Amino acid sequence: MTFLMNIDCPHCEKNYQILMTSIAGLCILPCFECNQPIIVFFGRCLALDSDFFLWSISRKKQAVIKLITAIMEELLENIFGGKSGPIKPEEVINFNRELGELDDPNKFGQVFGRPRD
Ligand SMILES: [Zn+2]
């Protein structure tokens, strides 16, 4: 199963969608707009250093492991009731954007499927 995921580039703030096969999927790619490296994992899009693609494989691995570990720690804190903290401004922005998309039949269909005729 695939789905379209909204991306807000942390470098240039351009918003677009990419096709993912799983919410837990890992995707490292250059931004389609500014060409800076980004990492997408568990519904998050984070910036990588601008020279990431020039690094050695081992340095790339270490950087990605560090980011994935931070994301997983945050997710586990949310699941197991760790310090959840206040709602972040970007969460409010994403919520408002997604709320506005509920009335768009195409967006609704992408998330919940198309109605049968
Ligand atoms: Zn960008």
Domain ranges of the chain: 3-85
46 and 31 Cβ atoms separated by less than 8 Å: no
Mean pLDDT of 85-101: 76
pLDDT confidence bin for 66, thresholds 50/70/90: very high
Lowest mean pLDDT among 7-16, 71-80, 92-101: 92-101
**Confidence (pLDDT) at 82:** 63
User: What's the pTM?
Assistant: 0.64
CA 64–ligand 1 middle distance (angstroms): 18
**Dihedral sign for Cα atoms in the order 29, 34, 68, 110:** negative
CA 41–ligand 1 middle distance (angstroms): 16
CB-based neighbours (< 5 A) of ligand 1, an ion: 9, 11-12, 14, 31, 33-34
**Confidence (pLDDT) at 97:** 78
Mean pLDDT of 52-75: 92
